[in-house]
Chains A and B, each alone.
Chain A
Amino acid sequence: MVMSDIQEEVVYQRPVSLENTVTHYCPGCTHGTAHRLVAEVLDEMGIREKTIGVASVGCSVFAYNYINTDFVQAPHGRAPAMATGVKRVMPDRFVFTYQGDGDMASIGMGEIVAAAARGENITVIFINNTNYGMTGGQMAPTTLPGQKTTSSPTGRDVEVQGYPVRAVELLSTLDGASYAVRRSLHDPKNIRMAKKAIRTAFEVQARGLGFSVVELLSICPTNWGMTPDQALNWLEQHMIPYYPIGDFKVHEAIANLRF
């Protein structure tokens, strides 16, 4: 048999919406996975050229180095307000924010709640890794009770430091939110489910249904002081019981969408 007789089929390649570049994220970090999922969805929907991303402050401040669309970069926590400004003058564009838990659920809580309440027709990708990654692993609103961080060195004491915020459940109570779900990036099955949720969120925006948010449970092996494998296990064993995977708000118009 000569080589030319072999039929080759491309089954896996880098999405056009993902830049061919070197990562700045730590080994094992799931930001890369989340970036890729967003990029695959933009490719599949054919909307890369019509999409404007809003990067936030934190490790994903450089999201625009990876996701191959027009991008703006917001002050800490203000991405939903900035996205509102973009979307209101260019309503036919797809606008998404990509925010971590410190950015969205702490300093940006006002902006995210107000954007959801307005039913702002934007998509929010919310990365929850239970700490402030970029500044070196401080306690975040999402830090679990008892979890050690560099600013809760003896473990988060809920009597003193309060309780973690379940942001997506909170946002799902607002009438302006059409899609509010939580997924996890700790194994292939959940990653596939996460991608479907991201796709659904952009479909919500395509239909003009209003605010959509997908929380992605993520790992931070460096700041957690774990190997990537240990971190994925820790996510499954500790985060999911506190932050259950699930759909908290699904607009009826997209409830039966299947991908």
Chain B
Amino acid sequence: MARELWKGNNAIAEAAVRAGLQAYFGYPITPQTELLEYLSWRMPELGRAFVQAESELGAVNMVYGAACTGARVMSSSSSPGVSLMMEGLSYLAGTELPAVLVDVMRGGPGLGNIAPAQGDYNQIVHGGGHGDYNMLVLAPSSVQEAVDLTYISFDLAEKYRVVTVVLLDGSIGQMMEPAEMPEMRPVRRLPEEAPEWAVTGAMGRQRRVLSSIYLQPPEEEEANLRILKRWQQVIANEVRCKTYYMEDARFAVVGFGSAGRVALSAVRAARAEGIPVGLVRPITLNPFPEKILQQYAGQVESMLVVEMSAGQMLEDVRRVVQGRVPVELCARLGGIMPLPDEVLDAIRSLARGEATLEGHPRDRWLQRMSLLY
């Protein structure tokens, strides 16, 4: 398959189709709407299910129903819409069902705006819904990576019976880049190829019930532990992370998605200035690349977290590094992407030895931000 110019949202939709997507349920919201529009003709063309739902609440519960049959199913939305889906995501987790959600993040809180942001980090990575659960979170930084991660997201969801979230910001959803599409996989036949837990009609077998209710507390605790045990396997097997220039680095920048990509430009510029800095770009945000960061905490003098949210990932990096080295923050919010020069300035500050374990890095960042407004 040749490289073609693809818009991020369309590319993700086509990658899902090629991964064997059987049903899509969604609702329009900028900046992910092209995903819905693309699938509105692509799915019927292939004889697969597409419904434009009445709301994100409707969409996620349609996903919930279709997931119960063992079908490969997906929804997509953007930050405010994803907030509405939290109920369904918790139920999917409680029922131990695989499904895929694409979240093309925008500025918030509230209605916010339609510009790129990463403010959904906490609600996706740490779970915005009720109860103890985890979602497997994949964070691409290019259209090609969005295609590749979407393509494997269904396999991961099914292997561990979790919801996989492809988490990107509006810039990747909206930008056009060359990308190569994976091959078209056959669609699962139902009920013949349904997994052994799926609800497909009790044809010649014992009936099955899929539910997230365990009225007896010991049963609920046991179910929670079962889910957590499966998640431990995800932690053991599925951490993905890309590093750049880290072999001899004395300073590390940590950023995911678009922020990671901007940070890479800054890291290259800093290298050109002779600053020994590298980039750690987590691809799985949950599970978080803890061991890798712990390892680098023993190598570098200080770290810089670059994100398009107010220090949400910063807290995860601080938790992992445990005060062994200073961690500073370079962040822009509300739909503003950091410029490479801003990140480069922050790297220079690290190189000057200005990073400190004193106080909280968010306070220093806020002080710098106060010069802007």
Contact = CB atoms under 8 A, between A and B. Distances in A.
Given A85-B67, A114-B54, A70 B61 contact: no
Interface string B1-39: 000000000000000000000110100000000000000
A84 B64 CA distance: 10
Interface in A16-56: 48-52, 54-55
B311 interface: no
B62 to A, nearest CB: 4
Interface string A157-200: 00000000000000000000000000000000000000000000
A64 interface: yes
A69 B62 CA distance: 20
Contacts of A118: 51
A118 B25 CA distance: 14
Contacts of B53: 81, 114
A32 to B, nearest CB: 19
A118 B59 CA distance: 14
Interface stretch (A1-9, A87-95, A147-155, A232-240): A87-95
Contacts of A69: 201-202, 207
Contact of A55 (B61, B62, B211): B211
A85 to B, nearest CB: 3
A106 to B, nearest CB: 14
Contacts of A70: 199-202, 207-209
A250 interface: no
A249 interface: no
B366 interface: no
Given A73-B210, A85-B65, A49 B204 contact: yes
Interface string A84-125: 111111100100000000000000001101100010000000
A110 B65 contact: no
A83 interface: yes
Contacts of B316: none
B246 interface: no
Contacts of A89: 22-23, 49, 66, 69, 71, 73, 190
Interface in A57-71: 61, 64, 68-71
A85 B23 contact: yes
Contacts of A74: 61, 64-65
A163 to B, nearest CB: 24
Interface in B336-354: none
Nearest to B212: A73
B58 A71 contact: no
B172 interface: no
A73 B199 contact: no
B300 to A, nearest CB: 46
A78 interface: yes
Contacts of B23: 85, 88-89
Interface of A: 48-52, 54-55, 61, 64, 68-75, 78, 81-90, 93, 110-111, 113-114, 118
Interface of B: 22-23, 25, 49, 51, 53-55, 57-59, 61-69, 71, 73, 87-88, 91, 190-191, 199-204, 207-213
